[in-house]
Amino acid sequence: MAGMNVLVVGASIAGPTTAYWLARAGAKVTVIERFPYLRTGGQNIDIRTVGVEVMRKIPGMEATVRDKKYEMDGIGVVRSDGRPYGILKPTGNPDQQSLISEYEILRGDLSKILVDLTKDNENVKYVFDEQVTAMQQPSDGGPITVEFANGLASSDYDLVVACDGTTSRTRAIGLGCGIRDHVVSTNCWGAYYRMPQDLLQGNKSGLGYNAPGGRMMAIAPDGGGNRVFLMSVYPKSERDAILQFRDASKQGDQALKQFLARRYENVGWKGTQILEGLMKSDDLYASEVCQVKAPQLYKGRFVMVGDAGYASGFTGVGTSLAMAGAYVLAGEISEHGDNIAAGLRGYEKRMRPLINKLGQQPRFVTTIMAPQTAWGIWLRNNIFGFVLWTGILDYIQRFMGSSFEKTNKDMLPSYERIA
């Protein structure tokens, strides 16, 4: 695939990871990002299972991730008076991860690490403030002609890779569908921001609190201040509620802040201080939690990697699936040389088992994370405290970690041509 001309759309995690592996295989890659800069906001994310394996294949990346690792001693849930039911701690073993990842990092930090790994590569070029407006695929299966919105000249590409997230505009163009086609809502959203006040008073463990109505808020240490996570889950019968969140998001940060403040008014615990921090924040990032279930990962010479093709919702492995997808795509293309169609078929064949195994949302996960009633919150909290006190959770975590780690060796191929 030496000299292959590739367009990658999106500069957050999936995009630069795809650029790294394709460039390693000899392709010339242009990465475009519709925002005028690399976005550094967002939540803390986990690198797990196949993601850890891919990370370890990139020289120096594991050490860099460790240097930027999001430091937190544990997580717990609290009563309205702030007393915790218990603190869940990491195992300390990166190869036997628990419900807390040993590679927890802020989304923006991981994106920057991946961009830094590729930005000086002569085969990779980044273009910001640009997006695709049209793609034309010839009937003979040749290169795709791509048109752009903001000045980048129309050009032919041997391959176009959509890495622009759950509501991918490139997916809509490439597959000829609507932006929300193949998107499955969980009727939940999450919002993240940083506040300079330290409501934890130096404590290095994060704390979460639930209020009736599926409302959850959590604070975690972040330097001298706190990082805040708000999550709201609506009953399946309340479809209009998530539409209100979408509308507020489209109107900009001020409208979104007002929406969040109304949703969490009189929530209890440290809600007043948390909402004061929200109104003063300048790094608010909010998104709907969705899954993407595309019937096929490619069409002609157009292909999807990461959330654009297989967002995993609440599974906690979206980042790892994106990193694995980038590696498998480059590996399959390199294995098939100039036969791009065969490489894309191989990518689909290799990724489907991973997507099906790791991308299944656990049953009752939203009920556990954000119960709708005061009774449900009380029951969940007391069960949480009981399993911590008895040590049952240690066994559960070892079992889950073991099953996850088996996935690494059994399901991730090795590709000599890009090793």
pLDDT in tens, 215-266: 999 998 887 889 999 999 998 777 778 899 999 999 999 999 999 999 999 9
pLDDT band at 370 (very low <50, low <70, confident <90, very high): confident
What is the per-residue pLDDT for 392? 66
CA angle 10, 247, 257 (to 5 degrees): 90
The pLDDT of residue 405 is above 70:
no
What is the residue-averaged pLDDT of the chain?
87
Q: What is the mean pLDDT of residues 266-270?
A: 91
Mean pLDDT computed over 129-151 = 93
42 — pLDDT class (breaks 50, 70, 90): low
Least confident of 43-47, 271-275, 300-304: 43-47
**pLDDT of the residue at 218:** 92
Q: How much is the average pLDDT of 160-174?
A: 95
Q: Above pLDDT 90, what percent of the chain?
A: 53
Q: What is the pTM of this model?
A: 0.88
Per domain, the residue ranges of the chain are 5-70+97-182+293-362+404-418, 183-290
The one-letter amino acid at 257: K
Cα–Cα distance measured from residue 285 to residue 167, given in angstroms and rounded to the nearest whole number: 15
Assigned token pair, 261: 């403040």
CATH no. for 5-70+97-182+293-362+404-418? 3.50.50.60
Mean pLDDT across the stretch 148-160?
A: 95
Residue among 75, 76, 72 at smallest CA distance from 381: 76
Q: Which of 41-45, 198-202, 296-300, 308-312 has the lowest mean pLDDT?
A: 41-45
Residue 100 has pLDDT above 80, yes or no: no
Mean pLDDT of all residues in 335-343: 90
Per-residue pLDDT band for 343 (boundaries 50, 70, 90) equals very high
Distance CA 175, CA 299 (A): 7
pLDDT value of position 94: 54
The Cα–Cα gap between 147 and 136 comes to 9
CA neighbor of 22 nearest in space, from 393, 331, 388, 308: 331
Kindly indicate the confidence band of residue 158, based on its pLDDT and cuts at 50, 70 and 90: very high
Q: Which of 233, 230, 181, 228 is nearest to 200 (CA)?
A: 228
pLDDT at 393: 61
For residue 99, pLDDT over 70 is answered with no
- Its CATH class, for the domain covering 183-290, is alpha beta
Length of the chain: 419
- Res. 397: pLDDT tops 60: no
pLDDT attached to residue 171 = 96
pLDDT at 173 over 90: yes
pLDDT for 28 equals 96
- Looking at per-residue pLDDT, the higher value among 71 and 59 belongs to 59
280 token code pair = 């003063």
